[in-house]
């Protein structure tokens, strides 16, 4: 099926039969490839396409794959830029102030059409004073590992909404799900300025940075599938069907057999489709 941005139109039963045929061709049984019809048109298409793919999982970690930046903001030394340090502090500082940690992961290997299935942030504790809640937030301003300080970054610079949390207890890797946050970055809903770790200034906690040994560095595991992509004008996409506008997306055929076409209309376009071929008017 193809659709324009912002268009809304109903589907006939043939659409769901067509998707069932796609599932059958990929070897899925009717029990494992059950397709429901969510209210949102775009989420429906993404869910159907995701069900037919095995996710690809990639771990972004300095020295292994991708680019990672990290530093901490020292409340005691507000003009100090400790980006080259092997440690990252959060919570209560030695002088009674508050420390925070910044981490960013380059996601340029993902296209904006990728559908994020899961994203897990991991960081290793190197010194633990006590239990606490470490909160993860989306950073809202650009920063540099080489120049970021408590003073230059400011008291804000992040979304107050909590995107994930964990208890930095023990001395192993701690993890938190940040799927929604990473999905918004990939879909370009928000610019990817990374995340910030902060906690109440009651206990201090220390983590290993990307300057530490390879087995201690922060990481982000992203599992994703490829979503539908727009086709350039005139591009042949399937069964003799052409996409004549950059805003159209080709997903699949619309009915169960030749001569049994269904017609879907909107104020923007009309689509006539079948298994053998399709035309757009």
Does 69 lie in the same domain as 198? yes
Interval 25-32 mean pLDDT: 38
Instruction: Point out the domain boundary residue: 217, 249, 265.
Output: 217
Interval 211-227 mean pLDDT: 95
Does 248 lie in the same domain as 127? no
264 located within any domain: yes
Residue 268, domain extent: 13-54+229-280
Confidence (pLDDT) at 41: 63
Does 207 lie in the same domain as 257? no
Interval 167-180 mean pLDDT: 94
pLDDT, one tens digit per residue, over 92-118 is 999 999 999 999 999 999 998 899 999
Least confident of 48-52, 114-118, 212-216, 265-269: 265-269
34 located within any domain: yes
pLDDT of 223 over the 50 cut: yes
Does 252 lie in the same domain as 208? no
- Cα-flanking dihedrals φ and ψ of residue 151, to 5°? -70, -45
Does 212 lie in the same domain as 234? no
240 located within any domain: yes
Does 267 lie in the same domain as 213? no
Does 46 lie in the same domain as 137? no
Does 201 lie in the same domain as 105? yes
206 located within any domain: yes
Instruction: Point out the domain boundary residue: 182, 217, 252.
Output: 217
Average pLDDT, the chain: 76
| Per-residue confidence band for 5, with pLDDT thresholds at 50, 70 and 90 | very low
Per-residue burial over 133-163, b = 16 or more CB atoms within 10 Å of its CB, e = otherwise: ebbbbbbeeebebeebbbeebeeebbeeeeb
Does 73 lie in the same domain as 135? yes
Q: Record the tokens describing residue 126, joined without a space.
A: 């190197």
Confidence (pLDDT) at 49: 56
| Per-residue confidence band for 261, with pLDDT thresholds at 50, 70 and 90 | very low
Interval 254-269 mean pLDDT: 45
Does 24 or 163 have the greater pLDDT score? 163
Does 97 lie in the same domain as 50? no
Instruction: Point out the domain boundary residue: 193, 217, 241.
Output: 217
Interval 88-93 mean pLDDT: 96
CA distance 12 to 273: 11
- pTM summary value: 0.67
1 located within any domain: no
pLDDT of 181 over the 90 cut: yes
143 located within any domain: yes
Ramachandran category for residue 91: left, alpha or beta (phi over 0 → left; psi -120 to 50 → alpha) = left
Confidence (pLDDT) at 234: 45
Interval 266-270 mean pLDDT: 43
Interval 24-48 mean pLDDT: 48
Does 175 lie in the same domain as 70? yes
pLDDT, one tens digit per residue, over 234-248 is 444 444 444 444 444
6 located within any domain: no
| Per-residue confidence band for 259, with pLDDT thresholds at 50, 70 and 90 | low
Cβ(233)–Cβ(245) below 8 Å: yes
Does 75 lie in the same domain as 47? no
Q: How many domains does the chain have?
A: 2
Return the percent helix, strand and coil in the chain, to nearest 5.
15, 35, 55
Q: Record the tokens describing residue 220, joined without a space.
A: 């982000």
Confidence (pLDDT) at 229: 64
| Per-residue confidence band for 44, with pLDDT thresholds at 50, 70 and 90 | low
Does 149 or 12 have the greater pLDDT score? 149
- According to the 3-state scheme, what is the secondary structure of 168-226? CCCCCEEEEECHHHHHHHHCCCCCCCCEEEECCCCCEEEEECCCCCHHHCCEEEEEEEE
22 located within any domain: yes
């Amino acid at each position: 099926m193809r659709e324009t941005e912002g268009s809304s139109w109903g589907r006939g039963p043939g659409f769901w039969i067509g998707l069932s045929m796609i599932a059958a061709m990929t070897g899925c049984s009717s029990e494992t490839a059950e397709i429901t019809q969510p209210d949102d048109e775009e989420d429906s298409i993404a869910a159907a396409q995701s069900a037919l793919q095995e996710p690809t999982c990639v771990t972004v970690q300095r020295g292994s794959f991708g680019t990672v930046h990290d530093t901490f903001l020292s409340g005691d030394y507000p003009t100090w830029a400790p980006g080259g340090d092997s440690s990252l502090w959060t919570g209560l500082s030695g002088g009674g102030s508050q420390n925070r940690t910044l981490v960013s992961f380059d996601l340029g290997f993902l296209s904006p059409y990728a559908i994020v299935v899961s994203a897990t942030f991991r960081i290793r504790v190197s010194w633990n004073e006590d239990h606490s809640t470490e909160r993860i937030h989306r950073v809202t301003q650009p920063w540099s590992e080489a120049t970021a300080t408590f003073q230059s970054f400011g008291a804000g610079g992040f979304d107050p909404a909590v995107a994930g949390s964990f208890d930095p207890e023990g001395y192993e890797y701690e993890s938190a799900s940040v799927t929604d946050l990473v999905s918004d970055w990939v879909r370009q809903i928000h610019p990817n300025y990374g995340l910030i770790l902060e906690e109440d200034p009651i206990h201090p906690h220390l983590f290993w940075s990307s300057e530490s040994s390879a087995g201690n560095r922060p990481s982000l595991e992203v599992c994703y599938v490829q979503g539908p992509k727009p086709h350039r004008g005139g591009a042949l996409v399937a069964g003799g069907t052409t996409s004549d506008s950059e805003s159209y997306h080709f997903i699949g055929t619309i009915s169960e057999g030749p001569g049994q076409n269904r017609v879907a209309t909107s104020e923007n376009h009309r689509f006539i489709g079948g298994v053998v071929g399709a035309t757009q008017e």
